Chains A and B, each alone.
Chain A
Amino acid sequence: MCLAVPMQVTEINGEMGKVEIGGVCREVGLMLLEDIRIGDWVIVHAGIAISKINDQEAEETLKLFKEGGMI
């Protein structure tokens, strides 16, 4: 039930905004995030964006795991 979908912000209108992935658009709530800009990627759950996606962070984590001999 806690599925969340990555989508890209295409429009911001106050607390709401439009997001898009693969041609699918939806209006979602942006009230749970700070400093959202058009072009940001977010994950959307039950019609509200709950987190920004930081891919750079993910790459660094992978690097740390490798260096630490964990994987």
Chain B
Amino acid sequence: MDKKELQTYADKLKNLELERPIRIMEVCGTHTTQFFYTGVKDLFPEKLSLIDGPGCPVCVTPNRYLDRAIEIARTHEVWLVTFGDMMRVPSSYSSLQKEKAVGVPIHIVYSPLDALTLAQENPEKQVVFLSVGFETTIPTEAVAVKKARQEKLKNFSILTGNKLTPPAVRALLDAGEVKIDGFILPGHVSVITGIKGWRFVADKYKKPCVITGFETQNLLIGTMALIHLIQNGNPEIINEYSQVVTESGNEKAQEVMAEVFESTEAKWRGIGTIPESGLCLKEPFQEFDANLRFPVNPPEEVEPRGCRCGEILRGLVTPLDCPLFGKKCLPETPVGACMVSSEGACAAYFRYQKVSP
């Protein structure tokens, strides 16, 4: 799409006449950031609001998960291996970054396959991979576990903290706390789940949805298409990101996920326990479960006082409503997870939101 066409769509969105106030939720953390970064959010007409959803795996990982990981590292001779995003997330009493600073062996990787390589190259070390992520990431972690089994690796295990996004959207809709007219659904999660993974939002809850990508044109067109559906009272799902998202999704990825993992209830920070929204290893793969290999019992979890991440993740308030935002809670010294993750709503607001002095 050329610059001129893009400008036409930008003008169209800016000048859209809405019959009534419309509230849309973007589920994905990358969308949260991109709406700010591209400036598309600034084009929203007055009556259109964007509610940030629970779409960042780092933000919704509960303290207990990190407390457990840190306790494993403190009480057993292991190497913790993690995606970089998790390093600064506060646990109840510490963070991976603080632990690393005092000498706990923590390695950062880009891919679960890199964690596997670390285990292969260091057979005398026990490697524990912190398996965090939504559907986009889960198949890559399933591949790593499957390979570990094929290669009979005895020094590789994972601490499962993975989460499934459709059950979280269902839980938000069931709770009914927040009024949402339609959803911008996550692009790369949908690559795996396919459109079919989200049909229930339109069919059962009668909410229009658009699956869209992450570039300026995707956000502009996706938002306008969603408004069109909402204003016409048309609870459908349309796929704006058809270059990579299909009706059935990535079936090979779904197969490897189903082979390695099974669903279980999971605790989401700020939202609570959601049935069938987490994953645990299936029986043939349980030898790779770090929870079983390194049993620990960390102290009771503690939530930071005054932090409103929970309500932000449920779309009830914005970061600007939190008393800690921009004062005690800053990107350099985050209190809550939504400020830590670069895709958290607080970090996005801090970086991009124009605030009058």
Contacts and interface: CB of A to CB of B under 8 A. Distances in A.
A4 B136 contact: yes
Interface string B224-244: 110011000000001111111
Interface in B22-73: 28-30, 56-58
A32 B250 contact: yes
Interface stretch (B108-116, B166-174, B265-273, B289-297): B108-116
Contacts, number: 120
B143 A69 contact: no
Contacts of B341: 1
Nearest to B85: A1
B188 interface: yes
Contacts of B30: 1-3
B240 A1 contact: no
B131 to A, nearest CB: 11
A60 interface: yes
A47 interface: yes
Given A1-B58, A1-B343, A71-B9, A50 B136 contact: yes
Contacts of A47: 110-114, 140
Nearest to B256: A32
B12 interface: yes
B139 A50 contact: yes
A45 B242 contact: no
Interface string B69-100: 00000000000000101000000000000000
Given A53-B244, A58-B243, A70 B224 contact: yes
Interface string B121-136: 0000000000011101
A45 B140 contact: yes
B221 interface: yes
Contacts of B243: 53-55, 57-58
Contacts of A65: 221, 225, 240
B136 A32 contact: no
B83 A48 contact: no
B195 interface: no
A69 B113 CA distance: 45
B191 interface: yes
B184 interface: no
Nearest to B251: A34
B145 interface: no
B244 A51 contact: yes
B134 A1 contact: yes
B168 to A, nearest CB: 14
Interface string A38-71: 0000010111101111110110111001000111
Contacts of B242: 54, 57-58, 60-61
A2 B137 contact: yes
B252 A33 contact: yes
Contacts of A58: 241-243
A71 B10 CA distance: 11
Nearest to B191: A51
Contact of A31 (B56, B112, B143, B191): B143
A4 B188 contact: yes
Interface string A6-35: 000000000000000000000001011110
A55 B1 CA distance: 12
A48 B56 contact: no
Contact of A1 (B29, B113, B228): B29
Given A2-B186, A32-B252, A43-B188, A48 B224 contact: no
Interface of B: 1, 9, 12, 28-30, 56-58, 83, 85, 110-114, 132-134, 136-137, 139-140, 143, 186-189, 191-192, 220-221, 224-225, 228-229, 238-245, 250, 252-253, 256, 341, 343
Interface of A: 1-4, 29, 31-34, 43, 45-48, 50-55, 57-58, 60-62, 65, 69-71
